[in-house]
Structure 1
Amino acid sequence: MLFHSELGQLAVVALAALLCGLVFARFKQPAIVGYILAGVILGPSALGLVENRDWVAMLAELGVLLLLFVIAMKMSLRSFRSIWKVALMAAAMQIAVATVITLALSRLFAWPLELAVLLGFVVSLSSTAVAIKMLEEIGELRSETGRLVVGILIGQDLAVVPMLLLLNGLAAEEGLDWTTIPGLLAAIGLLAALIWYLSRREKIRLPFSALAKRHREIVPLAALGCCLALAAISDFIGLTAAFGASIAGLAIGSTQSRRQMIRATEPIQGVLAMVFFLSIGLLIDLAYIWENFATVVVLLLLVLLVKSALNLFILRILGEPWPRAFLAGILLSQVGEFSFVLAGAGVAVSAVGIEGHRLIVAIIALSLVVSPLWLMTARRMRQLTAGGIWRLDDLLFAIYEQEARLILRGAKRGARDSSAVFQQFRNHIAELSHRMSEIRARRQVQSAAINDDENMTPLKGEVLPPERREFKRRA
């Protein structure tokens, strides 16, 4: 049959991802959620059209590596050098605080030590792929917030190896294997030295750059070769492949061929990243989620809320301004893809059973699914509460005003004869839109008044307030 062949399954995957991505883009939602939904539809929970998931997992891993490679190439090392201390400290504090919280909960629920440590590690990690994609969606990837988030994600990636070692050591009779610690410290030193060295010198010229200009087909192959080679070396010496891909990106990003490499690699990376998000959907077990709906939803909300608050608290302690800390905290609120690896390791060392593993996988996958929606909701809620809307029903309608209008428009096309409820809903939307317009107009008037006041010449003997004195000094 067509769908049982490798080519047929690949065609189904591509078409399903395309259709779901277009639908979500039409509703002004991130396409990555559509890709995950395509995976759910094609997976065993629904149609079951993708039987062999090994090739999907392999392509998904390549997608994550190339995503890290491209992001590292785009990164400004001079600006990254200014935030790497804060980023690494934030990553360490996230892991430490999350583990302390789960250890405290273990005393309450009588969890074994291995399970408490595992849950702390799983929850503390964030998704590199999802966070970076959301940064791209909102145009913040190259901002201070973007650099901070990427730095924290790199710090978390570095922590995966010691996490696995600690989990294995807790379950092993011989205890921890301390021989790998020097390698980890050497990797951190290599990263710091590379950033310091490359940020202090001019662009490096690659030996094959002249040849690549004449033969453009060599450029993507060279980029893939560099990325995969360093990823394989990093994995071989006991670190993560993601760390090696990041190092490769930082190195290539400091060469004269940087722009050429980025242009050649981005289309490939985009396709493979789509496969990664689709693979998340394949992991979602709808039957299990339905059977344990209340537990899954409560735990999911707890994870999102606690992680967001924890990230915000840590970044504020480290001196980050409120807007940057808020956005970075929300962007890092989901559970990361490396948590799947930790959950599998937990099963291997008997820290968690099969049912517990299914619950952890469900929470991880759903947190990745709802992360873009969580970001959109949190940002809109912050803007609206600042604008004076506090009633819950008005707040919810205002948050999803655009989506409600699209649904309303589609419903009007399908059913011209609106019911009383439909009419009431439309009137409520119109009234709320009018209120939002008034708020925006009031803000513009206030802003204009402030600007006029700042431009006024002070009277003789007038004592200026601090903000106007600062304005005059700048002028």
Structure 2
Amino acid sequence: MDTLLSIIAILVLAKVLGELVERAGYPVLIGEIAAGVILGPSLLGLVAHDQVIETLSTIGVIMLLFVIGCQMNLKLFVSSTARMVVTAVTASAVPICAGFLIGTLLHQPLILSFYIAIILSITSVGIVVPTLVGLNRFNTEIGTTIIGVAVLDDLIALTLYGIFSSMAAGNGISSTDLLVSVGISLLFIIGMATVGRFLIRRIFALSSRASSHEVSYAVALILAITGALLSHIAGLNYVIGAFLAGLLLGDLIRVDRQLFDSLTDSAFGFFVTLFFASVGLVLEITPQNLVSPLIVPMLLTAIGAKILGGYLGSIWFFKDVKSALLVGIGLCPKGDLPLAIGKYALLAGLISNELYTTTVLTVVATIVITPALLKQGFKRSAEPAPPG
């Protein structure tokens, strides 16, 4: 099918299914992934996952995390640093250990056990944020902790994925390589928070003086993509740099409601939709994949290990069992990042289609289950919802 016709087909079906899914009370991305599955090799085989769609979906991931970063309250985020770091360590360590255990018990090779551990350690910022916004708990202590831990968990997972890729390529990795990788990642984050913050905000402030409002829109996109590119050069995923750029620019962009709405509409109206649809396009569902012995253990561990890890890390700060459990529940959903890692790993030949299918099904299940658990948990929580 012609590329432009493929894009039209994806957008039409993804938006129709997304609307139906959202009216049923679930995230739109489930319908958008389903559109890719229907149009891709799993069912109709009408649309191929080509380089054009891959490039557009990459821009979609960048814009998704940039908009999410713009939505966050930077001051509240920074004030919870200690709580976030401690909780992130336990919320990553428990699922990682559980992932290796699952792989060992199911007689998986070490490299695939490593992949499972990475996927289980991730929390999707893109799923957590809209869920907390819908529950009016976005800028609360619990909400801020969940989001901050999700970001740090992703940094840890991306570092591990770099190690995984090196091992899978047969290059191996030494303790020196590991320290260098972690050091570069930390330097990038520190650089973005200091020099990068000054430069990004200065450049954007200058753009707001232009006579045309479109200049601010263009500069915002340029800064988002530049941040993503720099994080990629530093060995991190594109999403980290995009998220940090949005976080640093958030207060400047939010005051210009027209600009913020334009960025959001262009992201979720086109690019993000293509990303989630592309996840379904590379998915090949077969009866063998659907009865994989990995599905049930991965799903149960994805929820149980995250709740336990989040609870163990945050109980020291909240001193309240319900709040600590809510943090753990909020860390359960997988989403954009594990889907991206899974897709890249599949296309690179690092994992099988069976394991990729298991990854996608686990992601979708956690997305469906977590909002319901959070809604019930907040009803019983001692933390009051903020006004508004």
TM-score range, shorter chain: 0.7 to 0.9
1:452 paired residue number: none
Q: Is the 8 A contact 2:10 2:39 kept in 1?
A: yes
Give TM-score, length-normalised by structure 1. Answer: 0.67
Computed over aligned residues only, the root mean square deviation of the Cα atoms, in angstroms, reads 3.4
Q: In the alignment, residue 127 of structure 2 is paired with which amino acid? A: V
Kept after mapping to 1: 8 A contact 2:119/2:338: yes
C-alpha displacement at 1:8, in angstroms?
1.4
Structure 2 equivalent of residue 244 of structure 1 = 241
Q: What is the CA distance between 1:151 and its match in structure 2?
A: 1.1
* Superposition deviation, residue 244 in structure 1: 1.4
Give the partner amino acid of 1:208: S
Matches within 5 A, 1:394-433: none
Q: Is contact 1:335-1:364 (8 Å) kept?
A: no
**Cα distance, 1:344 vs structure 2:** 6.9
Taking the aligned partners of 2:172 and 2:282, their CA distance within structure 1 comes to 34
Contact 2:342 2:359 in 1 (8 A): no
Specify whether residues 283 and 330 from structure 1 end up closer, same or farther in structure 2 by C-alpha distance, changes over 3 A only: farther
Matched, 1:270 2:268: yes
User: Quick one: structure 1 residues 47 and 204, their matched pair in 2 at CA, closer, same or farther if it must change by over 3 Å?
Assistant: closer
- For residues 269 and 345 of structure 1, the distance between their equivalents in structure 2, rounded to whole angstroms, comes to 21
Q: 1:158, 1:82 → 2: CA distance?
A: 19
Higher relative contact order (CA 8 A, sep 6+): 2
**8 Å Cα contact 1:73-1:253 kept in structure 2:** yes
- Residue of structure 2 in register with 1:455 after alignment: none
Map 1:60-459 → 2, pairs under 5 A: 60-105=57-102, 108=105, 111-168=108-165, 170=167, 172=170, 175-176=173-174, 177-178=177-178, 179-190=180-191, 193=194, 206-211=205-210, 214-255=211-252, 258-260=255-257, 261-271=259-269, 272-288=271-287, 292-293=290-291, 295=293, 297-320=295-318, 321-340=320-339, 357-379=352-374
Give structure 2 stretches of 5+ with no counterpart: 381-388
Distance 2:340 2:32 in 1: 21
Q: Distance in 2 between matches of 1:239 and 1:296?
A: 28
Cα deviation for residue 206 of structure 1 reads 0.8
Once residues 379 and 341 of structure 1 are traced to their aligned partners in structure 2, the CA distance between those partners, rounded to angstroms, is 25
Deviation at 1:247, TM superposition (A): 2.4
1:455-474 to structure 2, matched below 5 A, reads none
Q: Residues 303 and 359 of structure 1: is their aligned pair in 2 closer, same or farther, counting only changes over 3 Å?
A: farther
Go from structure 1 to structure 2 and tell me whether the alpha carbon gap of 1:375 and 1:335 turns closer, same or farther (over 3 Å shift): closer
Q: Which residue of 2 aligns with 1:456?
A: none
- Give the SS at the match of 2:333: coil
Q: CA deviation at 1:10?
A: 1.6
Contact 2:89-2:313 at 8 Å conserved across structures: no
The 2-side partners of 1:256 and 1:29 are apart by 28
Match of 2:386 in 1: none
- Going from structure 1 to structure 2, the CA distance change for 1:347 and 1:249 (only over 3 Å counts) comes to closer
**Is 2:14 aligned against 1:13?**
no
Aligned-pair distance for 1:242? 1.6
User: What is the aligned length?
Assistant: 371
Query: Contact between 1:283 and 1:361, CA under 8 Å: does it hold in 2?
Result: no
Aligned residue identity for 1:40: V
Letter in structure 2 aligned against 1:370: A
Q: Per the alignment, do residues 174 and 30 of structure 1 end up closer, same or farther by CA in structure 2, a change over 3 Å counting?
A: closer
Whole-angstrom distance in 1 between the partners of 2:204 and 2:171: 52
Amino acid at match of 2:277: L
Residue 256 (structure 1) shift = 7.3
Deviations 1:45-103 (A, max 9, x none): 11222124433332222222112212222222211111122223222222222222344
Conservation of the 8 A alpha-carbon contact between 2:57 and 2:278: yes
Residues 127 and 368 in structure 1, CA contact (< 8 A), matched pair in contact too = no
Contact 1:157 / 1:240 at 8 angstroms: preserved in 2? no
Q: Any gaps of 5 or more consecutive residues in structure 1? A: 387-475
Q: Is the Cα contact below 8 Å between 1:334 and 1:364 reproduced in 2?
A: no
Q: What is the match of residue 23 of structure 1?
A: 20
Amino acid at match of 1:163: L
Deviation at 1:191, TM superposition (A): 5.2
Give the partner amino acid of 1:369: V
Cα distance, 1:316 vs structure 2: 4.0
Work out the CA distance in 1 between the residues paired with 2:311 and 2:151: 20
| Change over 3 Å in CA distance of 1:284–1:114 after alignment to 2 | closer
- SS of 1:253 mapped into structure 2: helix
- Pair 1:168–1:18, CA change in 2 (3 A): closer
Query: TM-score, structure 2 length as denominator?
Result: 0.81
Residues 328 and 63 of structure 1, relative CA distance in 2, 3 Å threshold: farther
Letter in 2 for 1:282: L
Report how far residue 330 of structure 1 moved: 2.8
- Give the whole-Å Cα distance in 2 for the aligned partners of 1:174 and 1:29: 42
Residues 264 and 344 from structure 1, CA distance in 2 versus in 1: closer, same or farther, beyond 3 angstroms? closer
With 166-175 and 176-185 compared, the bigger mean Cα shift is at: 166-175
Is 1:33 aligned to residue 33 of structure 2? no
1:49-64 map, 5 Å: 49-64=46-61
Deviation track 1:163-222 (CA, whole Å, cap 9, x = no partner) reads 134335656566322543431231243355579x88xxx9998112121xx312222211
